[in-house]
A and B are shown apart, each in its own frame.
Chain A
Amino acid sequence: QSALTQPASVSGSPGQSITISCTGTSSDVGAYKFVSWLQHHPGRPPKLLIYEVSVRPSGISDRFSGSKSGNTASLTISGLQAEDEADYYCTSFTRMSTRAFGTGTKLTVL
């Protein structure tokens, strides 16, 4: 199975908003609502930010939001903060009953 496509890096200044895209196919992102976004700081376990395209788990800031259009999902982080600097991964359920990860995006807060 192929990895979902994300930009390798994005950057923004504190207080700004950024959006990370996640492009898949009609066999994964486009087929299901089961798209999630994870934040990963090196040396720590990943942290779930968004599940089922746009749902935030309890305790996750409303600065994080998710959406989907066709085969592309997006994560928007508003009001950037220094602690948001991390790697971000999308993931989707697939028609093969597997899960695919995105290629990962490194967010730099300038």
Chain B
Amino acid sequence: QVQLQQWGAGLLKPSETLSLTCTVYGASFSGYYWTWVRQAPGKGLEWIGEINRSGIANYNPSLKSRVTISADASNGQFSLKLTSVTAADTAVYYCARWAIYWGQGALVTVSS
């Protein structure tokens, strides 16, 4: 059974860097799209970016200058870094093996 377990800091101050990691259990890492999605309070789902089957990362143009998604296939993990966070980055962040398997979600709050 495929499971995604995500973790990372839940409370950040403005200008800090958000860092989340997702570990994949029960599935091969290669050949899939590994994705990060978020949902701000009261808002809809927003695609942040993903690593594709070729190992290339693609990002939401609105976040591209601040986002890095990387993968460590040997450890079955992929990570999200978002720099210079503001209150607008407060959201529940989800990792996913697009689009069928999802992490449990992690609330990240940005507050001074």
Contacts and interface: CB of A to CB of B under 8 A. Distances in A.
Q: Do A and B come from one complex?
A: yes
Interface of A: 1, 3, 36, 38, 40, 44-48, 51, 57, 87, 89, 91, 96-104
B99 A101 contact: no
B23 interface: no
B47 A100 contact: yes
A103 B45 CA distance: 8
Given A1-B61, A45-B94, A101 B103 contact: no
Interface residues of B, number: 23
A109 B99 CA distance: 26
For chain A, what secondary structure do more than half of its interface residues adopt (helix, strand, loop), or is it mixed?
strand
A45 B60 contact: no
B100 A57 contact: yes
14 contacts: A38-B45, A40-B45, A45-B104, A45-B105, A46-B37, A46-B96, A46-B102, A47-B102, A89-B45, A97-B58, A98-B61, A100-B47, A102-B44, A103-B44
